[in-house]
Amino acid sequence: MKANPVNVSSLLLVLFLLLAVFSSRVSFAEKSPLKEQNILSGYYTREGNDGKMAKASGHNEYVKFYPGKRIIRLYVPYPYSKTVKSDVINRAFSMAIKETSGSAYIKSKFGVMDKPVIAYLDFYHWVNDQVMYDCGKPMPCKVTFDDKSMTVLKPGIVLGHKIHYGRVND
């Protein structure tokens, strides 16, 4: 008895799909409220702010996560950023989040800065134990957390770049 090639192909396709579903390690499930709450407290400051990285890029970079899966990346021009206090950065984040409910690029003083800063507002998603967000590259940036910091893996053409951030508690 000869097997029908259409039935064999269909069976292989179904088996492949089942195997893919059951062996998939990607989960878009929501994280526990405790883990979500942990990243929502405080903000993150890029390692190298006020140093070589700030001089080379022309700014200090800060990141804050908000409920509703929102993320703000705040760029404060260097050397002005050396004089900005933590409470002013917090207030700038608070003012920026009120500007829009969607994604945006905003250049403003946000009522608290002496010089205009740039705020990128966007959304993030949990995938396994990482946060992912669009960072203007063909692939999303991936973020991993520990108790006092986060690391962003920014995709590159050949290799990704790891950028470390320390947590500043509110």
Q: Is residue 23 part of a domain?
A: no
Query: 43-46 and 161-168 as β-strands: parallel, antiparallel, unpaired?
Result: antiparallel
Burial of 131 (C-beta count, 10 Å sphere; 0-12/13-18/19+): buried
DSSP 139: S
Q: Is residue 160 part of a domain?
A: yes
Q: For 1-49, how does the pLDDT look when each residue is reduced to its tens digit (9 = 90+)?
A: 555 555 555 544 444 444 443 444 444 445 555 566 688 889 999 998 9
Q: For 58-110, how does the pLDDT look when each residue is reduced to its tens digit (9 = 90+)?
A: 999 999 999 999 999 999 999 999 999 999 999 999 999 999 999 999 999 99
Range of the domain at 64: 33-168
Q: Is residue 28 part of a domain?
A: no
Q: Is residue 16 part of a domain?
A: no
For position 69, what pLDDT does the model report? 94
Query: Tokens standing for 15?
Result: 């088996």
Q: How many whole angstroms separate alpha carbon 119 and alpha carbon 57?
A: 16
Q: Is residue 38 part of a domain?
A: yes
DSSP 4: P
Identify whether the C-beta of residue 126 lies closer than 8 Å to the C-beta of residue 31. yes
For position 137, what pLDDT does the model report? 80
For position 9, what pLDDT does the model report? 52
Q: Look up the pTM and report it.
A: 0.78
Q: Is residue 45 part of a domain?
A: yes
For position 15, what pLDDT does the model report? 43
Could you tell me the CATH number of the domain that includes residue 158? 2.40.128
Query: Tokens standing for 157?
Result: 């053409």
DSSP per position, 66-131: ETTTEEEEEEEETTGGGG--HHHHHHHHHHHHTT-SS-EEEEE-TTT-SS-EEEEEEEEEEETTEE
Q: Is residue 26 part of a domain?
A: no
Query: Tokens standing for 35?
Result: 């883990």
Q: Is residue 1 part of a domain?
A: no
Report the number of distinct structural domains present in the chain. Answer: 1
